[in-house]
A = this chain, B = another copy of it.
């Protein structure tokens, strides 16, 4: 079942090492099929070289394995809660990419410093709080998803306007309307995390991108008046 999605999820998982975002098995991509209510995700701890499309695991939104021989990614409950709470999402990516993970460890938001940021993220990429002991005990990966949702709700951010988050002390999650755009957003996030630190090292008084330039760049690529790319 869901053979085309398995093929796509497999392919997008392979994009992660190709873009230098993962070492070993430190990353996973999933894609949601809204019709069936199931999503497809990478198996846990299987190396990218050995991965086949048929290894992908089909899971429902309550983390039941619907099809597959292998255990799904240990982060599956985080993916599930995000798909459940945000119907706009079609694909999710988690990595430990170097620069985004360093930002997650630093515990601060990634403020927009330039148009490379503004072309993809409409404002700061937020960093969550740490999970409490109670949350860890009651289901770490599930509660991780809840903390992501809480952060977007409290900050009143549109889930596709800022398609990324940093988990404090852990690393980035990105998402999109499908798996491919979630991977794209993971690459952009890694790059802006690098650029932002460098910009502040060059000039520690460097300012955030003015709102007017942020608006211009985000909106020339997104929304009804976008004019970047081909029709």
Interface, chain A (partner B; CB < 8 A): 23-26, 43-46, 70-71, 74, 96, 98-99, 101-108, 113-116, 130-131, 133, 136, 140, 169-171, 184, 187, 191, 194-203, 206-207, 209-210, 212-213, 216, 220, 227-231
Query: When chains A and B are docked, how far (Å) is the Cα of A114 from the Cα of B114?
Result: 27
A45-B228, A101-B116 known; A216 and B106 CB under 8 Å? no
CB of B213 within 8 A of CB of A71, answer no
CB distance from A113 to the nearest CB of B (A): 4
CB of A115 within 8 A of CB of B202, answer no
15 additional A-B residue pairs with CB within 8 Å, beyond A71-B231, A74-B220, A105-B195: A26-B116, A44-B228, A45-B228, A71-B229, A101-B114, A102-B194, A102-B195, A102-B199, A105-B199, A106-B203, A106-B206, A107-B203, A113-B169, A130-B210, A140-B216
Q: Which of B104, B106, B196, B198 makes the CB contact (< 8 A) with A200? A: B106
CB of A114 within 8 A of CB of B45, answer no
A116-B101, A230-B44 known; A136 and B200 CB under 8 Å? no
A114-B101, A114-B169, A115-B170 known; A212 and B106 CB under 8 Å? no
Q: Which of B98, B200, B230 makes the CB contact (< 8 A) with A43? A: B230
CB distance from A7 to the nearest CB of B (A): 19
Which residues of the partner chain B approach A136 to less than 8 Å between Cβ atoms?
Answer: 212-213, 216
Query: When chains A and B are docked, how far (Å) is the Cα of A197 from the Cα of B71?
Result: 34
Query: When chains A and B are docked, how far (Å) is the Cα of A133 from the Cα of B203?
Result: 25
CB distance from A225 to the nearest CB of B (A): 12
CB of B229 within 8 A of CB of A45, answer yes
CB of B230 within 8 A of CB of A198, answer no
CB of A131 within 8 A of CB of B74, answer no
